[in-house]
Structure formats: C-alpha cells, structure tokens
Chain A
C-alpha cells in the first residue's frame, strides 16, 4: 500500500534514532533494517538518509566512527548519543499524543458512519 510521503518524512529522524537505539549501524544496514522491520512500507532512499544522518551528527544526536569490516572495507558506523536518546523519548511521546488524537477523531467518524 503506498503511503502519503508527508507522513513518512517527519518521522524518519525518529525511525533512524530508534534503529540506532538497538545497535550501532552503518547507512546501508539502516536502510535494510528499516525495510525489513516495516515490511517494505518504509523504503528510505539512501540519498535522503545520508544528509539526514550528517545533520543529526552535527546536532549531536548521533556520533560516528570508522570500523574495518571483515572484508577489510572501512565502514562509517553511527551510534546514538545520550542527547539522541532523550530526543527520541520526547519524539515518541509527541508521536503517541498525535497518533492517539488522530485515532480518536478517525474512530469518531467510523462510529458515526457505522
């Protein structure tokens, strides 16, 4: 099912931070994980991911380090910071309030039409 884009873009930051909350990852891994977890609903474009990651790093929400993978390729891993965790908690709260409000309204309409 195609999802309206504006619904996704605002929450991408939250999704990325959520992924990093579980473990450190490099960019490609994040996209794969997100596809898998959302059952291909969120197909995050790599071209959107990297600018976003770099901005998050400058804001101090994530930090990065380089690690040599098994096949001797150097990869840039991202890791969530303390500030990032706090930001994620706040965003989650915001999201819950927002989504339950939407549900309340939608629920109301459903009842009315039932």
Chain B
C-alpha cells in the first residue's frame, strides 16, 4: 500500500465515526498534520518510509476508538439560553397582544397571532439549520437578490403614511448581507473600505425612497458597527486610525445635516426642535411627545395608572393611537405600571447581552461579523422602540422585535435570530478562507530543517536536501 494512502485510509475510518459532517474537515486536518509530524520525526530518527508511517499511525491509536472519542467531543450545541429567551419573547408577545387588543375594537384574532408565531418559529428553525457561510461566499449575489426583493416589495405594498412599508422587511436584512460583503473585502485596503461605503449606499438609498428615516437610522448604525468591528480586527489590512477617519468623517458630515436643517422652519426642523423642547409646541409636532409624557406621568410603579383627560376624552385607548403597534409599551405602562416596561427592558437586555457575549467568542471573522450585524439590527430596533415609547421621538418606532404587532416583523426578526443561532451553532468550525496576503509574503528562498526551499510560485516548491 502506498504511504499517503495508509494515512488517507486511517483518516477515512476516523471520519466515519464522526457524525457531525461539518466538523469533519477541521478535525481531520489537525490529525493529518499530527501524523505527518510524527512520521517525519521517525524519518529523522532513521526509520524507513513505510515503518515511519506505520509507527506514526500506531502511535495515534485505533481509528475507530479515536473517531468515537472525537464524535463525543463534537456535537452541534444550540445555545439554550438564547432559544429560551426567544421563546419567552414570542409567547410574551402573544400574551401582551391579547391584553392590548382586548382593549381596542378591531379584527385581531388570537388564533391568527398564534399561527403566525408558529410559522415564524418554523422560519427560525429553517434558518438555524441553514449554512450562514453563503453570505460570505456569494456576497454580491446575496446583496443583489436582497436589492431586487426590496425593489419588488416597493411595488407590492400598502402605503402607510405615504410609505412603501413592505420595503422595511428586506431592508432589515441588509446589515447581515453587508457583513458578508465586508468579509469579502479582506486585505483590500482603503479601496475595499470605500467599496463597503459604496455598497452601503444601496440600502441607504432604498430607505430614502421608501421613505423611512427610522429604517435608515437602524441600518446605518448596524453597518457602522460592522465596519468599525472589521477595521479594529485589521480586516482590510489598513492602519486603524486612517480607516476610522474614512468611516467617521463622512458619517459626521451626514449627521450634521439634520442640525443644519433644524435652523430652518420646515417639518423636519419642527420635529427636531420638538425633540429638544417638546413643550415649545404642544399642539403641533410635539403633540405625541407631550401626550406620551403626560400618560407616563400618570403611571404607577405597579398597577393601573390614574385617569387623565385630553380634549374631553378620558379613555386612554382613544387618546393614544397605535397602541398595538407603535406605542404598545406606553399603553401597557399606564395600564399595568412601570414594572411591565422594566420587565421588557430586562428581557431584551438579557437577550442582547447573551448574544453579544457569544458574538465576541466567534473565532472566524465571518461568524463574528454576521452575528454582530444581527445583534445590532435587533438591538437598534429595540432601542428605537423603547426610546420612542418613553417620549424620545426623533425616529418613529419600527417594531419591538417579536412583541409588537405585525406578522411580517415577527417573521423577519425570527429569520434573523435563526441565522444568528446558526452562527453560534457552527461558528467554531468555520474558518476564514486562506490568507492571500500570507502567500505573497512568502520568501523566495527559505532554509528549513536542512532543506533549501525555493518558491518558484506560491504553490510550487523546489526542495533540496543538504
């Protein structure tokens, strides 16, 4: 039997014992490396090629036993904490929706809500078993598909407040696709960084034609976090400071535009002024802010809040609009007390914190960037929603993930969560593709262990034993 065949045979037997297919390549590579090291050591000790190989294999031990032990060490493990928190949010959503919708007249049905939650759960499970590395392998295709879907949705949509509302859902997926795009720009330097900026303009423009400033904001912050993380990891192969300046100077310029607008007198200017000083215009743009502040000031810590009257109306469900979607938390705080809001904040913080911890543990940059994108998208939605329900209304709320009404939001967020859990399940096994820069830096002539190695091409070596 040929020598390499013996090792290949051994590895095959080992791999047959390991049930988790995805884990096999990484493990086998390590075992093969060891066998080669051991064989080379025996060759140096003066053994013949065949004896060296046999001894190396014997040293490793019975392939079936080794394979079984490795199988036991490698089982895909879901993160039960995150799964439990997701389930809690989904069920809490149904419970709170029941409370809220029992207070308003409408066509809401508990059965329908439960069915959608079930479908969303299936979507999450599918994403959980999906291979998240596709977004790193085919970033341009993923990006283009998402772009096409968003455009398509702009035609098939109901207009809510003059907005093509259906465009929001694919737009919320963009940061994740952006993570894949950023990943593909490894070692591309400042040019790669610029390309990322250009790629970002695609969803940014789509959010503007929708138009939704909230979507733009949530997406921009998420993409900014991804880029920052990539730069800090040295992913572009650039110096950190100049790269940060390239990211943040344009960002600062764009952010300063609203302040320039606020000097004027248009609608946006009013909205901004209202945020800074709501009582300046209690009947106009500041109406909602003043209203929320009044409702909250009538709330107790635990239990129903004291009644209040606005324009002769005393029923809170008629005073506050959109209580099952945009202002659910404000309503629930008044009805059941601050304890509800605090509970929600604790639950969401726990989810975001746990996810961020697992994010940080990711070894592959692709896994790290993908999970970072999803945590950011989730966190930003939650922060904007909770802030607006507390009366900080610079951006109108989008959704409180898995809680506030809207089955499309629930499905979109469950899809993202499933994808993130998929990263955490298999992330330890994902390797970033071979480093192109490393190949280039290989020296032309090298001396190693009594050998002179001449690199004719990066993949062609000439070895000479001395």
Contacting pair B363 A45 (CB below 8 A):
no
Given A70-B446, A70-B448, A71-B449, A50 contacting B31 (CB threshold 8 A): yes
Is the beta-carbon distance between B38 and A28 smaller than 8 angstroms?
yes
Report B233 CB to chain A, min CB distance, Å: 13
How far apart are the CA atoms of A63 and B362 in the complex, in Å? Answer: 11
Query: Within 8 Å of chain B (Cβ to Cβ): is A91?
Result: no
Given A28-B38, A65-B363, A70-B448, residue A47 in contact with residue B30 (CB < 8 A): no
Residues of the A chain whose Cβ atoms lie less than 8 Å from the Cβ of B59:
45-46
- Give bound CA distance, A71 to B442, whole Å: 10
Query: Is A58 close to B, CB under 8 A?
Result: yes
Residues of the A chain whose Cβ atoms lie less than 8 Å from the Cβ of B31: 46, 50
Check if A50 sits within 8 Å of B62, measured CB to CB: no
What A residues does B74 contact at CB under 8 A? 54
With known contacts A28-B38, A68-B438, A70-B446, A76–B33 Cβ distance under 8 A: yes
> Which of chain B's residues have a CB closer than 8 A to the CB of A57?
428
For the complex, is A3 an interface residue (Cβ under 8 Å from B)? no
Partner of A46, one of B29, B38, B72: B38
Chain B 361-388, CB-CB to A under 8 Å as 1, else 0, gives: 0010000000000000000000000000
Contact between A51 and B431, CB atoms less than 8 A apart: no
Whether B34 contacts A54 by the Cβ 8 Å rule is no
Chain A neighbourhood of B77, CB < 8 A: 58
Q: Is the CB of A50 within 8 A of B66?
A: yes
Determine whether B241 belongs to the interface, using a CB cutoff of 8 Å to chain A.
Answer: no
For A, the interface residue count at a CB cutoff of 8 angstroms equals 26
How far apart are the CA atoms of A52 and B69 in the complex, in Å?
8
A1-56 interface with B by 8 A CB criterion: 26-28, 45-48, 50-52, 54-55
Q: Is there contact, CB below 8 Å, between A47 and B33?
A: no
- Contact assessment for B27 and A47 in the assembled complex, using a CB-CB cutoff below 8 Å: no
Once bound together, how far apart are the Cα atoms of A77 and B199, in whole Å? 36
Smallest CB-CB separation from A28: which chain B residue? B37
> Which residues of the partner chain B approach A52 to less than 8 Å between Cβ atoms?
73
Q: In the bound complex, how far is the Cα of B14 from the Cα of A46, in angstroms?
A: 13
A47 and B62 form a contact (CB under 8 A): yes
- On chain B, the residues within 8 Å of A86 by CB distance are none
The answer to the question of A73 belonging to the interface, with a C-beta cut-off of 8 Å to chain B, is yes
B33 touching A51, Cβ below 8 Å: no
Q: Are A58 and B33 in contact (CB under 8 A)?
A: no
Residues of A within 8 A of B36 (CB): 73
Also in contact, A46 and B30, with CB within 8 A (given A28-B37, A51-B66, A71-B448): no
Whether B30 lies near A50 (C-beta < 8 A) is yes
Q: Is B70's beta carbon under 8 Å from chain A?
A: yes
Complex CA–CA separation, A50 to B36 (angstroms): 15
Which residues of B are found within 8 Å of A76, using beta-carbon distances? 29-30, 33
Residues of chain A within 8 A (CB-CB) of B62 are 47
Interface string of B1-45 (1 = CB under 8 A from A): 000000000000000000000000001011101101110000000
- Set A51, A63, A72: member contacting B69, Cβ < 8 A: A51
Cβ of B72: which chain A residues have Cβ within 8 Å of it? Answer: 51, 55
- With the chains together, A57 CA to B428 CA distance in Å? 10
* Residues on the B chain within 8 Å of A58, using CB: 73, 77, 428
B69–A47 CB distance below 8 A: yes
A74 to B73, CA, bound (A): 22
Contact present for B73 and A54 (CB under 8 Å)? yes
A66 within 8 A of B: yes
- Of all chain B residues, which has the CB nearest A58? B73
By a CB distance below 8 angstroms, the chain B residues around A66 are 431
Whole-angstrom distance between the alpha carbons of A55 and B61 in the complex? 18
When C-beta atoms are compared, the residue in chain A nearest to B431 turns out to be: A66
Residues of A within 8 A of B428 (CB): 57-58
Contacts of B442 in A (CB 8 A): 72
Hey, what's the 0/1 contact readout for B427-466 against A, CB within 8 Å counting as 1? 0100100000010001000101100010000000000000
* A55 CB contact (under 8 Å) in B65, B73, B453: B73
Query: Distance in Å from the Cβ of A70 to the closest Cβ of chain B?
Result: 5
Say whether A75 faces chain B, with CB atoms less than 8 Å apart.
Answer: yes
Nearest chain A residue, comparing its CB with the CB of B458: A72
20 pairs from A and B in contact (CB 8 Å cutoff): A27-B33, A45-B61, A46-B59, A46-B60, A47-B66, A50-B66, A50-B70, A51-B69, A54-B70, A55-B72, A55-B73, A57-B428, A58-B77, A58-B428, A63-B363, A68-B438, A71-B453, A74-B29, A74-B33, A76-B30
Given contacts A50-B66, A51-B70, A54-B27, 6 further A-B contacts (CB under 8 A): A26-B33, A48-B69, A72-B442, A73-B33, A75-B33, A76-B30
